[in-house]
Amino acid sequence: MGMLYSIGEVLIDFIPQQKGKALKDVVTFERMPGGAPANVSAAVARYGQAASMITKVGEDAFGDFLIEQLEEAGVRTDMIVRTKQANTGLAFVSLREDGERDFSFYRKPSADLLLEEIELDASSFGRGDILHFCSVDLVESPMKQTHRKAVNSMKEQGGIISFDPNVRLPLWDSAEDCRSAILEFLPSAHIVKISDEELEFITGIQDEQEAIQSLFQGDVQAVVFTKGAKGADLYVGKEKYGSNGFTVKVEDTTGAGDAFIGGFLYKLLELGATSENLIELLHDQHADILRFANASGALTTTKRGAISALPTRDKVDRLIKT
């Protein structure tokens, strides 16, 4: 059976207790484990497939906390490097009354995971494995190199590459830097997950169908287009498979996209996907895969946080059967 390797950011999200305030006016925060790649690994492990996180945290209390939380979800943590040189990453994000987001990030040490600190040769991976990554980890060049190595090694083994551009503009010097890093890595992925809010920014094309087709570059075999409450469309080349979202009582949409792609990749592992059978498998099983992923995303919106909001496999199954 294959394993998901999720590479990149893991950090502590501090969620404001006072809603709608500017960050400087928030007095109390709740501490939650986060970072998009970590959320995806937790979803896959929680539903019952093998998942491992590749990242770096400090040798400090928050590093201990993150490792504990990932292990509790069932994620393997033996590829998490610990360092004394920097503290574990932190993220403070508040949604102001005017709808704008205030950010304050401390992104070391996961952004500085160096090639020489971790074994990422092809022998680290196997056929039937999946590597998932996001663009926030392409901002700094050490991590970009580490990503390139992981992608190449996974490909050598015939594994699947999954990429979520996950645009976070405040982290970049310019929108152009962000776009060009995304377009640099996109052709190396087999699966690209993109949300309706990101499509025009990344492609520069207004027409939805044309924009989606423009993403089929290099090795891209499938594009998963997420549309919030409206569900998601899966494109396998020119073939489009639509799916409806589930109606739930929304509490906090943080981590919905990660839970969605986590559910999607979980299904691929369960079905024994490889880069060779991926297209056929997506054509045959699209309905089941999308239904599971939509249920995973929807249920995650019913609770606060990302990893802490992930449902059990049982809950996903029950929603699917409704």
List residues near ligand ADP by CB under 6 A.
195, 226-229, 231-232, 245-246, 248, 250, 253, 256-257, 260, 294, 297-298, 301
Q: How far apart are CA 312 and CA 43, in angstroms?
A: 9
Of the two residues 162 and 294, which places its CB atom closer to ligand ADP in the complex?
294
Closest distance to ligand ADP from the beta carbon of 59 (Å): 32
> Helices H, strands E: what count in the chain?
9, 13
Q: How far apart are CA 111 and CA 7, in angstroms?
A: 11
* Bridge partners for 81 per DSSP: 56
Of the two residues 153 and 294, which places its CB atom closer to ligand ADP in the complex?
294
For 229-273, the DSSP string reads GG-EEEEETTEEEEEPPPP---S--TTHHHHHHHHHHHHHHHTT-
148 touches 181 (CB < 8 A): no
User: CB count, 10 Å around CB of 141?
Assistant: 10
Of the two residues 5 and 264, which places its CB atom closer to ligand ADP in the complex?
264
Neighbouring residues of 63: CB distance < 8 A, sequence distance ≥ 6 = 57, 82, 88
User: CB count, 10 Å around CB of 206?
Assistant: 9
Closest distance to ligand ADP from the beta carbon of 201 (Å): 12
Q: How far apart are CA 258 and CA 255, in angstroms?
A: 5
Closest distance to ligand ADP from the beta carbon of 307 (Å): 14
Q: How far apart are CA 181 and CA 248, in angstroms?
A: 35
Closest distance to ligand ADP from the beta carbon of 40 (Å): 11
Of the two residues 216 and 292, which places its CB atom closer to ligand ADP in the complex?
292
Using CB positions, name the residue nearest to ligand ADP: 257
**Residue 5: helix, strand or coil by DSSP?**
strand
Of the candidates 79, 34, 89, 33, the one whose C-alpha atom is nearest the C-alpha of residue 58 is: 89
Closest distance to ligand ADP from the beta carbon of 63 (Å): 26
Of the two residues 297 and 311, which places its CB atom closer to ligand ADP in the complex?
297
Of the two residues 118 and 310, which places its CB atom closer to ligand ADP in the complex?
310
**Residue 149: helix, strand or coil by DSSP?**
helix
Q: What is the CA radius of gyration of the chain?
A: 18
95 touches 20 (CB < 8 A): yes
Closest distance to ligand ADP from the beta carbon of 313 (Å): 17
DSSP H or E stretch at residue 191: strand 191-195
Closest distance to ligand ADP from the beta carbon of 192 (Å): 12
Closest distance to ligand ADP from the beta carbon of 250 (Å): 5
Of the two residues 206 and 247, which places its CB atom closer to ligand ADP in the complex?
247
Of the two residues 63 and 297, which places its CB atom closer to ligand ADP in the complex?
297
Closest distance to ligand ADP from the beta carbon of 248 (Å): 5
CA 273 centroid distance within chain: 19
Of the two residues 216 and 260, which places its CB atom closer to ligand ADP in the complex?
260
